[in-house]
Amino acid sequence: MGTTDSRLGQLRGSLPARNHNARTVAALAANPGCARRGVMDAAGIDKTALATRLGHPVQYGQSPFAIVRGHAFEAQVKADGGAQLRALLHEALGVPESAVAEGAYEELGGEIPEPETEPGAETEPGAEAEPGADPETEPTAAAREPKRLGREQRVTLTRRALHRVLDEARSDTCAILDHPLLPLDVAGTRAYLEPDAMACLVAGRLHVVEIKSFSVLDGGADPGKLASAARQAAVYVLALQDLAADLGFGRDVVSTDVVLVCARDFSNQPTAALLDIRKELAVTRRRLTRLARIDDLLADLPAGLTFDPVDAEDQGDAGPAAVRQAVGSVPAAYVPDCLSACELAYFCRSEARACEGGHGSGGLVGTLGTGIRGVLGGIDDIGRALDLADGACAPAHGEEEIARVLRRAAALRREVLEAAR
């Protein structure tokens, strides 16, 4: 069967790889029963590219202009060694300005500049290469660019920096770690999460800082964007709590109040506020523990399964069909909330409505929402639910109570319609 990594690589094939992030972890935790998303995320599959191959391209996404604006806003907040960020921490946390005015500012993004010459062979800036030098042996411009550290190296840097600032913490200093990398176990695979920043031991606690470019108008933000930011921040806090506990400092050193930095009104001026994510943190932790282990999910899949058939490009109409068949072999748990969280939602919705997975006629109950799916218990098909309501079929073992409720509801509906006529 091969190792877990080799099987995940086989599933991905030549599809672009995407790492887990706080958004994908939060979306997976919101629908822990979806084996399809669990497998896709564990394999690092670019679901946007896969959705296009399936003929159901993503119909939402952040514009390039918004992404550029977000990067510029974050750079503005962190400029000059985080001077403005320190002022925002003072504003949001209500601590004396002196408590956050000083302290280390460490960039953990992971770039290591390479020396342009060998040690001891210094040259003057702009000096020409020696005559007769072989250009093929000279370092190219690309080779001289700073190299990015690997994820495990960045995790090690984060661990060392966090351990150091916690050991050396004083009440009159505030160390800021810029773009740390936090590991988190998700269903048996390791995810790497990168919060915007961490402020270390302000008022005795570690605080996650989230910088968002959406606006706060008259003291209020868009509820949907605020809820999404809270769910993502909860993933960061959970990972940071695990890391702090692993370093021997305990989970309580991490605050559940996240510092949320946004733009004020219609300007580009930042403002900060505390976001209490205790509820989101508890929900995320509970849902992540409910996720099926990736090894168990892979064990139920056909051997040799791949979401990237090698000859799909040469198969014409059969190519997308082969991809649809491969994706359809992994069970999904579609609900309407998936439309705002998963790139495959439009394909899964079409599949659920048509019951292409062999669930019967009428579509899947999940298309009606989580509330109705919960009320109907283990009944998956709308057609079967209607048959139970009309008495067209006998309830299976364990369905007696819900069948009685459905028949009662159908009788009341008939009475109302008759009265209306």
d(C-alpha 277, C-alpha 260), whole Å: 11
The length of the chain in residues reads 421
Residue 259: phi, psi to the nearest 5?
-85, 110
As a whole number, mean pLDDT of residues 153-178 equals 87
What is the pTM assigned to this prediction?
0.78
Q: Mind listing the pLDDT tens digit for each residue in 27-64?
A: 888 888 899 999 999 998 989 889 988 888 887 666 77
Give the containing element (helix H, strand E) for 374.
helix 370-375
Q: Identify the pLDDT of residue 246.
A: 94
The string of DSSP letters for 287-325 reads HHHHSPPHHHHHHTSPTT--SS-TTGGGSTTHHHHHHHH
Q: Identify the pLDDT of residue 49.
A: 87
Q: Mind listing the pLDDT tens digit for each residue in 223-277?
A: 888 998 999 999 999 999 999 999 999 899 999 999 999 998 888 899 999 999 9
Q: Identify the pLDDT of residue 89.
A: 92
As a whole number, mean pLDDT of residues 346-375 equals 76
pLDDT > 60? residue 355: yes
Q: Identify the pLDDT of residue 283.
A: 93
Q: Mind listing the pLDDT tens digit for each residue in 103-162?
A: 889 888 755 443 333 333 333 333 334 444 444 444 454 445 556 678 899 999 999 999
Domain-wise residue ranges, the chain = 64-115+132-288
- Residue 362 pLDDT class (50, 70, 90 cuts): low
d(C-alpha 358, C-alpha 327), whole Å: 14
Handedness of CA 263, 264, 266, 269 (dihedral sign): negative
pLDDT > 60? residue 213: yes
Q: Is 134:59 a contact under the CB 8 Å cutoff? A: no
CA distances from 357 to 326, 360, 364, 395 (A): 12, 8, 10, 22
- Residue 319 pLDDT class (50, 70, 90 cuts): low
Per the model's pLDDT, the better-predicted residue between 138 and 420 turns out to be 420
Q: Identify the pLDDT of residue 3.
A: 83
pLDDT > 50? residue 7: yes
Per the model's pLDDT, the better-predicted residue between 65 and 249 turns out to be 249
Sorted by sequence, the CB contacts under 8 Å of residue 355 that are 6+ apart come out as: 361, 362, 363, 364, 381
Q: What percentage of the chain exceeds 90 in pLDDT?
A: 27
R_g of the chain, CA atoms, integer Å = 27
Residue 211's DSSP bridge partners are: 261
pLDDT > 60? residue 343: yes
